[in-house]
C-alpha cells in the first residue's frame, strides 16, 4: 500500500474521529481507510488508534505521531502548492459554516454566484447559530459575527461587514403595550430571550454601564425564530442588523432606547484556519466574499438606526 496515502488517511481519521468521515474526505471506502491505518501500524510496530463502536481516538503514541506527521504533511502540501501555484484551479469539496439568518438573507445568494464562477468547487454549506470547531469538525471556512472578536490564535478572521445589535419591537407591539421611554420602563415589557440571555447593558447618565435584567415568557435558540416573534408583536428583543436590517428600513421593526442601549458593533468575519499557503478553493472563497460584501450596502448605518428610533403613530 502507498505509505504516504496511509499517513494522510491516519491524519484524517484523527481529525474527524471516525473511519467513515475520513473515508469521505479521502474519497475511499471506510474498509479501505481502516486497511491503510492497519498498514501504518504494522510498519511502525505500534498501535496508533483506540477503536470503539462510537468513536476512534488516538493512543498516546498515536497522538505524538499525529502531531509530528501533521507538520510534515502540511509542509509537503504547501510545497506542492508553491510549485503548482501558477496552474492551481479552485476545485474539490469546500465545507462552509454560516450564521443561519444571515445565511438565508445574504450568504446563499453569494454562494450561488461563487459556485457559478467556480464550477469545479462543490460547496457544502451548513447553517447554524452555533460556533463550530472549524478544524475539529472538518470545516474549511466559517462566517461568524462576534462583538468580542475571536479567541483562537489558530484561526484567521477577515472582516467583510459591520452590523449592529439593536433593541427593537414591532409597531403593533408598541401600540398595544406602549413605547418605553427609559430603560426602567422595560421592566413591564415582555423581553424575548435568545438562548436564555436575559440582560442588557444600559448606559447611565453618569456615563457608567450597568447590567439590567429583563424578563419574558419566550426563550428561543435561533435568531430567525426570535426575529419572527418580534415581527409578530410578541415582545421586545435585542437583534443584529444582519438579521433585521431590512425590517428596520421598511418600518416593520422600530429601534428603541438608542441612547440608553446604544447599538453595539457586531463585526462579521470570514474565518479560516491559519496556514501560510491556503488552498485555491479557500483563498478564492474568502476573496470572493470580501469583495462581494465590500461593494454592497447591507444594513442601515448607525446614524440611520438612530433616525429610525421614533415611536410609531397609533392606529
Supply the pTM of this predicted model: 0.65
Strand partners for 208: none
Neighbours of 177 (CB within 10 A): 16
Q: Which of the four pLDDT bands, split at 50, 70 and 90, describes residue 150?
A: low
CA distance 183 to 200: 9
CA distance 256 to 40: 63
Instruction: Enumerate residues 6+ apart whose C-beta is below 8 A from 40.
Output: 3, 6, 7, 10, 48
Neighbours of 63 (CB within 10 A): 12
Q: Decide if pLDDT at 199 tops 80.
A: no
pLDDT at 174: 95
- How much of the chain is helix, strand and coil, in % rounded to 5? 45, 25, 35
Q: What domains are defined for the chain? A: 3-86 (1.10.10.10), 87-161+266-294 (3.40.190.10), 165-265+301-308 (3.40.190.10)
pLDDT at 294: 80
Decide if 156 contacts 271 (C-beta within 8 A).
yes
pLDDT at 215: 86
pLDDT at 123: 95
Query: What single string gives the DSSP state of each residue in 222-252?
Result: -HHHHHHHHHTTS-BEEEEHHHHHHHHHHTS
Q: Which of the four pLDDT bands, split at 50, 70 and 90, describes residue 113?
A: very high
pLDDT in tens, 240-283: 998 898 899 899 999 999 888 888 888 888 999 876 567 889 98
Decide if 49 contacts 56 (C-beta within 8 A).
yes
Q: Decide if pLDDT at 236 tops 80.
A: yes
Amino acid at each position: 500500500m502507498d505509505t504516504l496515502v496511509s499517513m494522510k488517511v491516519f491524519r484524517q481519521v484523527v481529525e474527524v474521529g471516525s473511519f467513515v468521515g475520513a473515508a469521505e474526505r479521502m474519497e475511499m471506502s471506510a474498509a479501505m481507510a481502516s486497511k491503510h491505518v492497519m498498514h501504518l501500524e504494522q510498519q511502525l510496530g505500534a498501535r496508533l488508534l483506540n477503536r470503539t463502536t462510537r468513536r476512534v481516538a488516538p493512543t498516546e503514541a498515536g497522538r505524538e505521531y499525529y502531531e509530528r506527521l501533521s507538520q510534515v504533511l502540511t509542509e509537503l502540501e504547501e510545497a506542492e502548492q508553491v510549485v503548482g501555484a501558477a496552474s492551481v484551479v479552485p476545485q474539490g469539496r469546500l465545507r462552509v459554516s454560516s450564521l443561519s439568518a444571515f445565511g438565508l438573507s445574504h450568504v446563499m445568494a453569494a454562494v450561488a454566484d461563487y459556485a457559478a464562477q467556480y464550477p469545479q468547487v462543490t460547496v457544502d454549506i451548513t447553517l447554524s447559530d452555533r460556533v463550530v470547531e472549524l478544524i475539529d469538525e472538518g470545516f474549511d471556512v466559517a462566517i461568524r459575527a462576534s462583538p468580542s472578536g475571536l479567541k483562537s490564535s489558530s484561526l484567521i478572521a477577515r472582516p467583510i461587514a459591520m452590523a449592529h445589535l439593536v433593541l427593537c419591537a414591532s409597531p403593533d407591539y408598541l401600540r398595544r403595550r406602549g413605547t418605553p421611554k427609559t430603560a426602567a420602563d422595560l421592566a413591564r415589557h415582555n423581553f424575548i430571550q435568545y438562548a436564555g440571555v436575559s440582560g442588557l447593558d444600559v448606559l447611565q447618565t453618569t456615563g457608567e454601564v450597568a447590567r439590567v435584567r429583563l424578563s419574558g415568557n419566550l426563550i428561543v435558540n435561533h435568531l430567525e425564530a426570535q426575529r419572527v416573534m418580534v415581527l409578530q408583536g410578541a415582545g421586545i428583543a435585542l437583534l443584529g442588523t444582519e438579521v433585521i436590517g431590512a425590517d428596520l428600513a421598511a418600518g416593520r421593526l422600530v429601534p428603541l432606547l438608542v441612547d440608553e442601549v446604544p447599538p453595539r458593533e457586531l463585526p462579521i468575519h470570514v474565518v479560516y484556519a491559519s496556514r501560510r499557503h491556503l488552498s485555491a478553493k479557500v483563498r478564492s472563497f474568502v476573496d470572493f466574499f470580501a469583495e462581494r460584501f465590500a461593494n454592497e450596502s447591507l444594513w442601515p448605518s448607525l446614524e440611520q438606526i438612530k433616525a429610525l428610533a421614533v415611536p410609531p403613530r397609533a392606529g
